[in-house]
Amino acid sequence: MSRLIVVSNRVPDVAKGPPPGGLAVALESALELHGGVWMGWSGKSSGAKEPGPLSFHEHGRITFALSDLSRRDLSEYYAGFANSVLWPLCHYRLDLTDYARKDMAGYFRVNRFFAERLRPLVQPDDLIWIHDYHLIPIASELRRLGVENRIGFFMHIPWPPPDVFFTLPVHEAIISGLTAYDVVGFQTGHDVDNFASGLRREGIGGDVGGRWFEAYGRRFRAGAFPISIATRHFADMASEAMNTAAVRRFAESLEGRDLIIGVDRLDYSKGLTHRIDGYEKFLTANPAYHGRTTMLQVTPKSRTEVPGYTAMQREVAERAGHVNGSLGRLDWVPIRYVNRAIAQNVLAGLYRLARVGLITPLRDGMNLVAKEFVAAQDPDDPGVLVLSRFAGAARELDGALLVNPYDIEAVGNAIAQGLSMPREARRERFSPMMKRLLEYDISRWCSDFLAELSG
């Protein structure tokens, strides 16, 4: 079996125990199975002008190879091009893109740096798997350095349609960077279609049947690999969590009210203010529910170094405060807004307590919270998922109440429909979704991608 090399911007700190997310767990177990290297940013600044040297540590059959980045790298590559250009662009937010030339140069410089550091570690039969929008140019850099191994890329976030993508001044360098891979994975067929129409519109290539594409004289494969979760593990964790003190205390604090839950990183793509407005609409249209529901919105802070994120924190807190101030009573707070991370097993228990999971991003590559919410439910008495049609997960989770998150009244109506749905209807919606998640879990996702990459 070939060794595996994974490169991602963030790398879990396995010294602190098993990684929290399903993706990190899946990649770690694939790496354990194949043996190999996981390279990426250490999460720290080197405090110097240059990135730090690679630091290596072994964990089972995995060698972690991490590097601190300089403050300039972090500002230009991470906060700049990756998160102030590619992130908003891929989430269709042209109004938020900031095309500074120096950030673009910094992005390509850091990618070259990772490729040059990786080159001496690559052995002839290694499979190389690069993750996410921070690192698109790595394959073309590796090819320039003479690496002929099979290299795959997975895009965790959406791929936009041509008219959005072509607003990027360096769109050609990004697209030709993708064509240097052997396999390019997207979350959904919609993303693949957008990518294919971009190639065609530029006249540089297109799909030639099956999953095969041609561009710039290279042949490669591209397809949809919808990412998933460790479904069985998450379901077990949720049912065990019901007996923990934290979940019990929370359940008591509800005093019999129906729980509506939302969990998201603090990000403009998540549609948080629209969601709060939707909940307000639900309450104003359904006075009978006053005092009888609690919305819990858990929103850990994120990317505080990127302009715009801090302002949004204030905006969301203000919206929640407005609803509580105008509709709350002495003995009832409509929204509990928590601005920090909560342990994953506690979250799993909270999902299971909830009558409605309210996951309404304006645009999302997949949204694993939606999948976790489903996996956490009690199969006998499941809650209802209200899900944005613009999340990748909407293509698989067809038992959800799908909503247009921009349509505030529709969101309000879906909440009311979810809360009043009879048990039998809830079960009918839940079962096929759970079946799909059990069949297609994160390890299946990982092995499918690696099978395609192995050729």
The residues that are catalytic are 156, 364
Measured from the Cβ of residue 46, the count of other Cβ atoms closer than 10 Å reads: 17
DSSP state of 391: B
Q: Which helix H or strand E contains 127, and what residues bound it? A: strand 127-131
- The Cα 118–Cα 65 span in angstroms is 9
* Among 158, 154, 116, 160, CA closest to 135: 154
Spatial distance between the Cα atoms of 375 and 425, rounded to a whole number of angstroms:
17
From the number of C-beta atoms within 10 Å of its C-beta (0-12, 13-18, 19+), residue 168 rates as buried
DSSP per-residue letters across 245-259: HHHHHHHHHTTTPEE
Give dist(CA 168, CA 171) in Å, integer.
5
Residue nearest to ligand G6P (CB): 156
The amino acid at residue 10 is: R
Q: At what angle do helices 442-454 and 22-34 cross, to 10 degrees?
A: 50
**H or E stretch covering 4:** strand 4-8
Helical axes 272-285 vs 309-327, angle rounded to 10°: 10
Cross-strand partners of 7: 39, 130
Smaller CB distance to ligand G6P: residue 81 or 282?
Answer: 81
Residue 120 has what DSSP assignment?
G
Mutual angle of helices 245-253 and 344-353, in 10-degree steps: 40
Kindly tell me the sign of the dihedral angle through the C-alpha atoms of 249, 251, 253, 256.
negative
Question: Residues 6 or more apart from 449 whose CB is under 8 A from it?
Answer: 129, 152, 154, 183, 185, 225
d(CA 265, CA 300): 5
Chain residues in the site for ligand G6P (CB under 6 A): 10, 132, 156-157, 302-303
Which are the contacts of 133, defined by CB distance < 8 A and separation ≥ 6? 82, 86, 87, 90, 155, 156, 157
Residue pointed to by tokens 């190879």: 65
